[in-house]
Structures are given as C-alpha cells and as structure tokens.
Amino acid sequence: MAEKSAGSPPREGVVGSSSAGLPVVTPDDSMPRVVRIVMLVVTAAILVILAWEIAVVIPLVAARPGAIGVDFVTYRAAAESWLAGDGFYLARQLAGPYQIVGAESALGAVVLYPPVALWLFVPFTVLPAVLWWIIPAAAAGWALWRLRPSLWVWPLLALLAALPFNLDVVVRGNPLIWVAAAFAVGCAVAGPAVLVLIKPSLAPFALMGVNRRRWWIALAAFTLACVPFGVMWFDWVQVVRNSNGSVLYSAPDVILLAIPLVAWVGRSDRRATRATTRDEPVDSSDPADSAEEDPLSGAGGS
C-alpha cells in the first residue's frame, strides 16, 4: 500500500489530532453545535437542582445529631466489636429470623456485609472519618476523567447524580459509595470491579473486565483476602438466611452504580473512530489508545 503523502489534506469529517499528529474523530465532534449547547444547558440546569438539594438537605440532616454518616458509624462500630472479640454480627442475627433494620431502630442496625468487608471497615477504626468520603469520591472522579464520557450522556449523568437516593447514600456514608467507586475504576481499568463482591447482591457488576487477565489476577487476590476469616463465612451465610431480605433487596443500589456504567457506555473511545489505515499506525504512547481505556476490550493480554 502506497504511503500517504505528508501533504495530503485530512479526510472529511475528521477533526483533532493525536500525539503522533494523526487526525482523530470523537462522537462530540460530529454533534451539531446547537445540540452541544442544549446538552450543556440541560446538564447545567440539573446540576443547579443538585446544588439546591444539597443546600436544603444537608442543613436538615445536620440538625439531627448523628444523622450525617450514620451508616459509616454503624459499620465502624461493627469493626470495633469484632476487634474486641464480640463478633461482627449481632447475636440476634445468628439466633433466628430477624427484620433488616437500620441505625434508626432501637434494636440497632444489622450487618449484612460478608466478613471480607472488614478489610475496608477495620482501617477506619483509626483513620480520620472524612477519608471515608474523600477516597471513593477521588477514585470515582478519576475514573470519570479517564472514561471521558461524551457530551450526549452528560445530562443523564447529572440526572443520576441528582436523584435523592444517591444523595441519601452519600450523606449516610453507606459502604455503597465504596462499591460504586470500585466499579467506576473497574470501568476505566480492568481488575478493580472485583471489589464489588464485598456486596455480593451486586455481583454482576463485578464482571466488568472479566475477559482480561488482570481481572482474574484481582479475583485471585480477592479470594485470598477472604481466606483469613475462616468460619466467619458460615456465620455470614446464617445471617443472610435468617434475614427477611430478598433477591431484590439491593435493587435500589443499582441507581448509584448506573453513573459509572452510563459513563462507560458513553465513553469517548477515540481508538474506534481514529481515521487511520493500515499504513497509519496508532501511536501506542497516547493514553487514549491504550487497551486499559476499555476493560472489556479484547485487545492486549492484560
């Protein structure tokens, strides 16, 4: 195949360039200007609503002592109980059938997470509580930056973020924020999605990147992390069987995980639209060309 002349004009519809000077097409480039403006305006409007929600909800929650981070306090206390030798699960959870209740109950909040979640909970018996929110927020933010979702999904991402359920999860400091962060990073690079398994009811989301070798290495590491808890796993099975939960118990949790999933579906995959031919090699030094950009890509060995 003849080499492309250095002076050849870029092909029609191709805009931008890679670090190697190759023309690049992205989904947003072909979007009419008026549509881009509408997308930005709608996104901004939804974010204004989110800001209003935060401005109204946070003061109301803060007025109730202990309401902010109530779930975080519950699981930190469970970890402290385990460290003290008093067990991770409540005695009534192991004794027989019980109702799943939160920290608002006079009986005390129940714990349904498997023992492997103690790897997450125990460090926060000494770490500053604020890190419980900062770390997953930073991880999820990095993942979204890495995915670079196209403009057409921005309004949907903003809408999902503004849903009251998601705001409630964050305010309460529910461990779901860590599960969602793990899934978000797993949408950007293969492997971290395995950590979703600390909440087994959301196990299908842990399969993000399952066709990559790195995912299987992460699964092996996760399995090893489960081993030290030995007979506690039998306690967990009993706790789950005794509860009144159903297979749909975690259905609302999907709303938060939908944010990184939508970002992944709407990611700006420049590799798929790069205007190249067989005699125009893709610059492997460009992060956008890396197979890690898509954990479900069949390219590469990891």
Q: What is the pLDDT of residues 11-66, one digit of tens each?
A: 333 333 444 444 444 556 667 778 878 888 888 998 898 888 788 877 777 666 56
Domain ranges of the chain: 22-275
At 106 the pLDDT is: 59
pLDDT tens per residue across span 222-271: 999 999 999 999 999 999 999 887 777 788 899 999 999 999 998 876 44
Structure tokens at 31: 């979007």
Segment 171-186 shows an average pLDDT of: 95
At 167 the pLDDT is: 86
- Give the CA radius of gyration of the chain: 23
SS3 22: coil
At 270 the pLDDT is: 45
Q: Look at 174 and 52; give whichever has higher pLDDT.
A: 174
Residues 6+ apart with CB under 8 A from 172: 68, 69, 70, 71, 72
Please state, in angstroms and rounded to a whole number, the distance separating the CA atoms of residues 78 and 72.
10
At 222 the pLDDT is: 97
At 139 the pLDDT is: 97
Phi–psi pair at 16, nearest 5 degrees: 75, 180
Please state, in angstroms and rounded to a whole number, the distance separating the CA atoms of residues 253 and 170.
12
Q: Look at 274 and 93; give whichever has higher pLDDT.
A: 93
Q: Residue 107 belongs to what H/E stretch?
A: none
Q: Look at 196 and 295; give whichever has higher pLDDT.
A: 196
Segment 211-220 shows an average pLDDT of: 95
Segment 88-99 shows an average pLDDT of: 90
Mean pLDDT score of the chain, rounded to an integer?
80
**Comparing C-alpha atoms, which of 187, 173, 135 is closest to residue 295?**
187
Segment 200-220 shows an average pLDDT of: 94
pLDDT at residue 297 greater than cutoff 70: no
At 7 the pLDDT is: 46
Residues 6+ apart with CB under 8 A from 272: none
Segment 209-228 shows an average pLDDT of: 95
Instruction: Return the percentage of the chain with pLDDT > 90, whole number.
Output: 49
Burial string for 107-127 (b: 16+ CB within 10 Å, else e) reads eebbbbbbbbbbbbbbebeee
SS3 171: helix
Please state, in angstroms and rounded to a whole number, the distance separating the CA atoms of residues 138 and 181.
9
pLDDT at residue 290 greater than cutoff 80: no
Residues 6+ apart with CB under 8 A from 87: 81, 235
Q: Look at 1 and 134; give whichever has higher pLDDT.
A: 134
Q: Look at 284 and 187; give whichever has higher pLDDT.
A: 187
At 98 the pLDDT is: 86
Q: Residue 15 belongs to what H/E stretch?
A: strand 15-17
Residue listed under structure tokens 């590799």: 271
| 154-162 and 33-62 helices, crossing angle to 10° | 10
Q: Look at 53 and 166; give whichever has higher pLDDT.
A: 166
